[in-house]
C-alpha cells in the first residue's frame, strides 16, 4: 500500500481555489452560451432564441439562424411559478 501526503496551506489555497472556481464557472457559462448560439448548419452566431409558452405551464425554446434560416428546438419544461 502506498500513502500520498499533501500539505496544504489552507488559508491562501482556499482563496486560490475559490478564484479558480469563480472563473471556471464564468468560462463554462460563456462556452455554453457559444454552443447555444451557434448554428449547426452554417456556423453563424446570429441566432435568435425564442421562449414560447405552449400550454398551461409548459414552455418550448426554439432557435433560428438569421443567416441561413435553420431552426431547431431547445429545451422544453415547466415554468416554476
Ligand atoms: Zn445558419
The reply to whether 65 falls in a domain is: yes
pLDDT at 36 > cutoff 90: yes
Cβ contacts of 66 within 8 Å, gap of 6 or more: 44, 46, 47, 48
On whether residue 66 sits in a domain, the answer given is: yes
Do the domain assignments include residue 14?
A: yes
The count of structural domains within the chain is 1
In a domain? residue 33: yes
- Residue 37 lies in domain: 10-78
Residue 2 domain-assigned (yes or no): no
CA of 7 to the centre of ligand 1 (A): 52
- Could you tell me the CATH number of the domain that includes residue 30? 2.20.25.10
The answer to the question of residue 41 being in a domain is: yes
Q: What's the residue count for the chain?
A: 81
Pairing of strands 58-65, 71-78: antiparallel
Cβ-contact 42, 67 below 8 angstroms:
yes
Cα(40) to centroid of ligand 1, in Å? 7
Is 4 inside a domain boundary?
A: no
C-alpha 26 to ligand 1 mean position (Å): 26
* pLDDT at residue number 62: 95
pLDDT over 90 at 52, yes or no: no
Which has more confidence, 11 or 6?
Answer: 11
Amino acid at each position: 500500500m502506498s500513502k500520498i501526503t499533501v500539505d496544504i496551506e489552507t488559508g491562501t489555497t482556499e482563496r486560490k481555489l475559490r478564484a479558480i472556481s469563480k472563473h471556471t464557472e464564468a468560462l463554462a457559462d460563456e462556452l455554453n452560451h457559444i454552443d447555444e448560439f451557434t448554428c449547426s448548419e452554417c456556423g453563424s452566431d446570429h441566432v435568435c432564441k425564442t421562449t414560447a409558452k405552449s400550454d398551461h405551464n409548459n414552455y418550448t425554446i426554439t432557435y433560428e439562424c438569421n443567416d441561413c434560416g435553420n431552426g431547431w428546438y431547445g429545451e422544453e419544461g415547466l415554468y416554476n411559478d
